[in-house]
Every structure is written in C-alpha cells, then in structure tokens.
Amino acid sequence: EVQLLESGGGLVQPGGSLRLSCAASGFTFNIYAMSWVRQAPGKGLEWVSTISGSGGATYYVDSVKGRFTISRDNSKNTLYLQMNSLRAEDTAVYYCAKDRLVVRDLGEFDYWGQGTLVTVSS
C-alpha cells in the first residue's frame, strides 16, 4: 500500500524558514518523480515543485523560485521542501504527491499525503 506522510509544518514568522518532509512507502521511490502541491485556506490547488526520480531535474512555480528548494533522499525514501524567505502568501496546506507514470516527470498525481499546514504570520 502506497503511503505518503508529510511532516514539518507549523507557524513561522515572515522571512523565516521551514523544511517539510514526506516519508514514502509501498512503492519503488527512486523511479518516480515527486511533487509538492499547496492549498491556501479556502482556496484551490497550486502546484509548487517537482523533482525527478533521480533528483537530477527540478521544476518550480515562479512564485517560489529562489526561495524554495525541493530535494530527495532515495536511500531514505524521503522527499523534502526547504522553504526560505517565507511570506504570508505561502500560508497553505502542503501536500506531497507521487507522479503516476515512471516515464514522465510532470504529469498527474495518483497518490497524495494527508498534508501539513504551514502558517506564515507574525
């Protein structure tokens, strides 16, 4: 059974940093691209970032480029999102999600974690 378990969310002041983690199990982690998708309170879904299975390719939405870094440790089956220079508009539930296909880095997401809430406020 595929499981994705996020952690690391919390309350942080504007300009602060936070690192999210997503522990994966139940599938061959190192052959699938993984992504972060966020959802601001009461709002829709927003793709944030994707990393290829090997970790060699990364992709970001413009609003987080230069501030967020996606990474993975395939020996630990864990995905990360390092978030720096946080802003109020980054407040959201952050989901990690698994790409459905091995052959594409950027596709549809067939498994999602339960989400972790990041609140940026003074």
Partner 1 sequence: DIQMTQSPSSLSASVGDRVTITCRASQSISSYLNWYQQKPGKAPNLLIYAASSLQGGVPSRFSGSGSGTDFTLTISSLQPEDFATYYCQQSYSTPLTFGGGTKVQIK
Identified binder of partner 1 from the candidate list 46, 77, 84, 91, rule CB under 8 A: 46
Which residues, in sequence order, are bridge partners of residue 8?
Answer: none
62 near partner 1, rule: CB under 8 A? yes
Q: Work out how close the CB of 19 gets to partner 1 at its nearest, in angstroms, rounded to a whole number.
A: 21
Q: How far is CA 49 from the centre of its chain?
A: 6
Interacting span for partner 1 (CB under 8 A) from 19-27, 46-54, 69-77, 82-90: 46-54
Identified binder of partner 1 from the candidate list 113, 116, 118, 120, rule CB under 8 A: 113
What separation in angstroms does the CA of 119 have from each of 8, 24, 33, 97, 103? 11, 24, 26, 20, 35
Nearest to 94 by CA among 41, 32, 16: 41
Identified binder of partner 1 from the candidate list 21, 59, 67, 91, rule CB under 8 A: 59
Cβ(31)–Cβ(56) under 8 Å?
no
23 near partner 1, rule: CB under 8 A? no
Contacts of 102 (CB under 8 A, 6+ apart): 31, 32, 53
Separation between Cα atoms, residue 25 and residue 78, nearest integer Å: 9
Identified binder of partner 1 from the candidate list 70, 95, 118, 120, rule CB under 8 A: 95
Please identify, using beta-carbon distances, which residue of 2 and 31 lies nearer to partner 1: 2
What does the binding site for partner 1 look like in residue numbers (CB under 8 A)?
35, 37, 44-47, 50, 59, 61-62, 95, 100, 104, 106-110, 112-115
